[in-house]
Structure 1
Amino acid sequence: MSLVLQPPALKKLRLLTYSLVFILGVALLLQTFRSDRMLPLQVLTYALQPSVGSAVVQNQTAGTTVLKGQSAHLIGVGGSKALLVSAFLEHRTKPKKVLVVAIMFRQEKVSLQCRLLCSERRHVSRASVDIHWDHFGFPYGTADVSCPLPPACQAPSHVAVTSAAARNRDKADLEFLEVQNQKELNVFPYNFTSCFSTMYNYTNILQLVQTVEMLQLLGVNRIVIYKMNCSNETQRVLDYYTDKGLVEVVPWSLSEYLKVSRRAKPDQDPGDIHYFGQIPALNDCLYRSMYRSKYVALHDPDELILPQTVDSWSELLPLLEKRHGADRCFYFENNWFPTEFTLPPPPPNVLPGLGLWRNVSGANVLTHLYSEPVKPKPAFNNFKTITNPRSVFVVTVHGVLRSQKSCAWVDRTVARMYHTKVRGQTGLKAQQLIYDGRLLSYSGRLTSAVSAVLRETRLLPDGARR
């Protein structure tokens, strides 16, 4: 039965409706005339939201949470060609400051200002810019934009950077970065974090799974991957590890702003910035791991730093710190294991079950156990780094540019890096390669773990899963 309102009830309903409309109108009017210092909150609520589909997941190893799908929020600077990546409270400098990881056009001469947000109040300070010298000759380089903190704003929650010339820019258009690392901690949820940058057109599934599983055997409990694009199958693997809370995938959208080079030098592939913006990604990973991880490793998915006298990084780092001192960065010699050479594989009784993987895309590191001879020093070596992140200020692809203490080279008999990839023209013959079976000491646990992941991600053929 339908309800019919009598005239008195109808009159009350109309009065209630008019009252609600009046209240909403007044609220909207007050919102419009709010003081300028309150306006950024509207912008922040929109700009700092996680990307669609993001979710908090539990790290099953460390018992902590990571945000699935959180993006490096690249922001353009009005009146400049600069791009902002992320912002952090830098506790180690005297006085402390806000450090913004940025990408700068090296030929541009521009004065920048920082607009700091503290308890809904804005404070303006003049920024200083330090462009990292390791830009490989490309027009754009990684930079530190430093924002001094006024006495009334020692812990800003957000920061926006503008050109000093853009004084009349509409303040409502400002985009703010959240200032991370608000607290200087000395207890960390992770022991080792590995930073991979950058993943593009990635299809090397088998080696990716092998690397992630090996890293766990070595003691790594967090992996951060800066991803541009990859195959659907690779994404399935990333989703699997993200759901477990082990991997944090950072969408890396730099190609939407700049022409990224696919090579290390401009004469190899011209562009605006070196190798997909690998260096700003590494510096972002260093700072976002500063108070979350005891150690940070900077390397690629086709690289493994293997101890020679112990079995894990958890055992290795105390040995290195005892020998070289605490709070250090450590360099590990690169050893190439070229995948294009066909050499005798280990016998089946050593690596049982590897036939299951023959139809999985990617290199199998357990069947590439022959390395190139080590070049005599001082030839450049594609070494990589494990460091205490709180002792380092600036990193690059190969090494550390600025740190509190000098970095120490690790003797190859103690630990070294295994770099398994196609090498192309090396001038070497197969008989010149040197057998190294160190990986086989992990093969039993690694083979079982890799097969389990490939089954759970449905990447093994139907017959292999039975």
Structure 2
Amino acid sequence: MFKILGVNRVVVYKTNCSMETQRALNYYAQTGFVEEVPWSLSEFLSVSDYWSPEHNPGVLHYFGQIPALNDCLYRHMYQAKYVAMHDIDELILPQSVDSWVDLLPLLEKNFGVDKCYQFENNVFPNNIVLPPSMPETKPPAQGCWKSVTGVNILEHLYQEPVNLRNVGKSFKIIVNPQAVFTTSVHGVLKSTNGCVWVNRTIARMYHTRSQQQTLLKPGDLIYDGRLLDYSKRLLTAVNKALREIGLLSGDHVC
């Protein structure tokens, strides 16, 4: 999906992973698209393995997440014009254009250059698969790749209503690394020109994860089929990658 959006490189800070995931990482690393950074700080320090310190305290927060983000910032400060900082289950998705290549000039024009761009978080529960609102928008990948572990984002097209209590707290960013001194999990701590909010009609973050607002009923969720605009290209690319990695046989191609 990042390739489709025009990203040049993905940097993965890896504490550990399954054998299947490692095969995928190796595949993309061989093409030069993925850079894998070993991040096993728990071998040397008492590192919390939970985001909330009161549940699991440690010398470093959550596998050393904040040091990893700052390492990434400085590692690519003079290699990349822009760096996006978010988790592997998150995706900053343009709404009015199709790629980050087109989105970033639009953001520069609207908000100025050398900025930190903040994107609203939208949760798409991965434990809920609902039929789309219209038959013609049925996800073409629904039910595919059953032999492959992981989450198919094309199957989860319903989002939770934006939690007003988390507005301004839970978001991720794209930054010019040369304009930032220090960053944190959500936003920067020190920068030259500050941050600006990107309107959700321009771009927003799709977070495919376990349901966050657990009291919501299925009818409370909001259908969003924007990902389907990428489905044909994504299906083709994923099928090719899974076959070449050896995780999918020809009989299971979607």
Length-normalised TM-score, structure 2: 0.94
Deviation at 1:252, TM superposition (A): 0.9
Give yes or no for the alignment of 1:341 onto 2:124: no
- Counterpart of 1:215 in structure 2 is 2
Q: Following the alignment from structure 1 to structure 2, what is the Cα–Cα distance between the partners of residues 378 and 361?
A: 30
Pairing 1:224–2:5 present = no
The corresponding residue for 1:403 is 191
Match of 1:458 among 229, 246, 250: 246
**Percent of residue pairs bearing the same amino acid type:** 59
Q: Which runs of 5+ in 2 are unaligned?
A: none
Is structure 2 residue 181 aligned with structure 1 residue 393?
yes
1:327 aligns with 114
**C-alpha contact 2:117 2:196 (8 A) present in aligned 1:** yes
Runs of 4+ in 1 over 3 A off after TM superposition: 345-356, 377-381
Aligned residue for 1:384? 172
Check the 8 A contact 1:305/1:417 in 2, yes or no.
yes
Distance 1:414 1:377, change over 3 A: farther
Give the 3 Å change call, closer, same or farther, for CA 427–220 of structure 1 in structure 2: same
Q: What is the SS of the residue equivalent to 2:110?
A: helix
Q: Which whole-Å CA distance do the structure 1 matches of 2:157 and 2:137 have between them?
A: 16
Higher strand share: 1
> What runs of 5+ residues in structure 1 fail to find an aligned partner?
1-213
Q: Describe the SS at the equivalent of 1:331.
A: strand
Q: 2:208 corresponds to which residue?
A: 420
Q: Give the whole-Å Cα distance in 2 for the aligned partners of 1:465 and 1:439.
A: 20
> Alpha-carbon deviations, 1:130-175, whole Å to 9, x = none?
xxxxxxxxxxxxxxxxxxxxxxxxxxxxxxxxxxxxxxxxxxxxxx
Report the Cα offset of residue 353 of structure 1: 5.4
Asked which structure has the greater CA Rg, the reply is 1
* Mapping of residues 64-79 of structure 1, within 5 Å: none
Using the alignment, how far apart are the partners of 1:462 and 1:218 within structure 2?
Answer: 27
Is residue 61 of structure 2 the alignment partner of residue 274 of structure 1? Answer: yes
Q: For 1:67-466, what aligned pairs fall within 5 Å after superposition?
A: 214-344=1-131, 350-352=138-140, 354-376=142-164, 379-423=167-211, 426-461=214-249, 463-464=251-252
For 1:404 and 1:323, the matched residues in 2 are separated by 18
Matched residue SS, 2:123: strand
Letter in structure 2 aligned against 1:457:
I
The one-letter amino acid paired with 2:146 is R
Q: Distance in 1 between matches of 2:78 and 2:170?
A: 28
Contact preservation (8 Å) 1:337, 1:368: yes
Instruction: Using the TM superposition, give the Cα deviation of residue 343 of structure 1 relative to its aligned residue in structure 2, in angstroms.
Output: 1.2
Change (3 A) 1:394 1:454: same
Deviations 1:242-283 (A, max 9, x none): 000000001112011112112122112222211100000110
Figure out how many residues of one structure are paired with residues of the other and give that number.
253
Higher RCO by CA contacts (8 Å cutoff, separation 6 or greater)? 2
Distance 2:149 2:245 in 1: 13
Letter matched to residue 281 of structure 1: A
Deviation at 1:423, TM superposition (A): 2.6
Q: Which amino acid aligns with 2:196?
A: A
For residues 450 and 360 of structure 1, what CA distance do their matches in structure 2 show? Answer: 11
The separation in 2 between residues aligned to 1:412 and 1:276, in whole angstroms, is: 31
Aligned residue in 2 for 1:43: none
CA RMSD of aligned residues (A): 2.0
